[in-house]
Amino acid sequence: MRRPIIQTENMNYTYPDGTAALRNINIEIMNGERAAIIGPNGAGKSTLFSHFNGIMQPSSGRIKIDGKSITYKKEELIKIRQKVGMVFQNPDDQLFSPTVEEDVAFGPMNLGLSDEEVEKRVEDSLSMVGMDGYEKKAPHHLSGGQKKRVAIAGILAMQPEIMVLDEPTTGLDPKGVEQIMDILYELNQNDMTIVISSHDVEMVTEFANKIFVLNEGQIIKKGTPQEIFNDPETLKKAHLKQPKAAELLNLLKNNGTNVNIKLTVEEAYHEILHAIGADAYHNLLHLVHEKHHHKLLHALGPEKYHQMLHILKEEQNNENH
């Protein structure tokens, strides 16, 4: 049964110099959800995330974790940080031990666990993120994606119910992004609540089932991906763009084609196919591929462009059979 696991009530935070960083924040995230906080740089995403496990304390209002208000007593904060794991945007801020295994072991050791239990948690956590075999490596010798996975392993070793990740894919190549997102999907399938911040609308569209739009320290809209990315005014206000698939369908709709706005390449493919028919669509594909290949490649990016072509080729083969 779903229950609220992170709640904020009229939460505000003002920096010592008087700058209002967060204003009247009211959010509710249920256990097992994949939630995203999106917004431009400087919107307050990192500041908000630092409240979720008690690193920062609100100037006013309150935050509840699993129904209980945080009181900021030392003993309680220890328990909160076991329940809510925080992965920073820059893994170098989180990795400081001489070896990978020492880094991952740091949290469990501070819980006073036995050596056998610590060793088991380190082994299990590194295996879950595909970093087994790197135990003796120095973290500063790893790639950006590997560092991020070790940082996640360090949090997993604490066995949290909630994982909060600040810009989890920043600075990673496409393979690194895919590896991190696969890990987060698997954790969520095992009932862990995942909360991410990002301004990567393509990734958020595919990952999140609940989105909060943060701009200038305020939540200006919350809803499903469809509700958020079909609201051009909110996106403009938050300096965000629609996913490329939605942009393409909007162009078609504005030029008289009867289509509904979809958010992913695969959804857009089926929507266009339904609207104009398979033969016309494959003719259009041929035209695009021959004459506008470079424009479409630039708009969608190589990965999504070739994904679209692959889907279309499969569909054509199915029709020919």
CATH number at residue 66: 3.40.50.300
pLDDT at position 275: 74
> Comparing C-alpha atoms, which of 171, 233, 226 is closest to residue 201?
226
Mean pLDDT, residues 5-32 taken together: 96
Backbone phi and psi for residue 282, each to the nearest 5 degrees, phi listed first: -70, -35
Looking at the structure, do residues 33 and 180 belong to the same domain, yes or no?
A: yes
Looking at the structure, do residues 72 and 161 belong to the same domain, yes or no?
A: yes
Q: Give 228-237 pLDDT, tens digit per residue.
A: 988 888 999 9
Looking at the structure, do residues 252 and 228 belong to the same domain, yes or no?
A: no
Instruction: Please tell me the pTM assigned to this model.
Output: 0.82
Q: Give 98-144 pLDDT, tens digit per residue.
A: 999 999 999 999 888 999 999 999 999 999 999 999 999 999 999 98
Final residue of a domain: which of 237, 257, 291? 237
Which residue type is seen at 65?
Answer: I
Looking at the structure, do residues 27 and 64 belong to the same domain, yes or no?
A: yes
Final residue of a domain: which of 181, 202, 237? 237
Number of domains in the chain: 2
pLDDT at position 200: 85
Mean pLDDT, residues 217-227 taken together: 94
Q: Give 288-304 pLDDT, tens digit per residue.
A: 555 455 555 555 666 76
Q: Give 38-83 pLDDT, tens digit per residue.
A: 998 889 999 999 999 999 999 999 999 999 999 899 889 989 999 9
Q: Which helix (H) or strand (E) holds 213?
A: strand 210-215
pLDDT at position 308: 67
Q: Reply yes or no on whether the pLDDT at 168 is more than 60.
A: yes
pLDDT at position 291: 47
Looking at the structure, do residues 40 and 117 belong to the same domain, yes or no?
A: yes
Q: Which domain holds residue 257?
A: 244-320
**Residue-wise DSSP of 276-312:** H-HHHHHHHHHHHHHHSHHHHHHHH-HHHHHHHHHHH
pLDDT at position 316: 59
* Selected residue with higher pLDDT from 276 and 93: 93
Final residue of a domain: which of 237, 263, 286? 237
Looking at the structure, do residues 147 and 224 belong to the same domain, yes or no?
A: yes
Integer Cα distance of 265 and 208 in angstroms: 16
pLDDT at position 318: 66
* Selected residue with higher pLDDT from 256 and 35: 35
Looking at the structure, do residues 14 and 65 belong to the same domain, yes or no?
A: yes
% of the chain beyond a pLDDT of 90: 58
Q: How many residues would you count in the chain?
A: 321
Looking at the structure, do residues 187 and 274 belong to the same domain, yes or no?
A: no
Looking at the structure, do residues 10 and 118 belong to the same domain, yes or no?
A: yes
Looking at the structure, do residues 253 and 230 belong to the same domain, yes or no?
A: no
Looking at the structure, do residues 311 and 269 belong to the same domain, yes or no?
A: yes
Q: What is the mean pLDDT of the chain?
A: 87
Q: How far is CA 183 from CA 7, 147, 176, 225, in A?
A: 25, 14, 11, 21
Looking at the structure, do residues 212 and 280 belong to the same domain, yes or no?
A: no
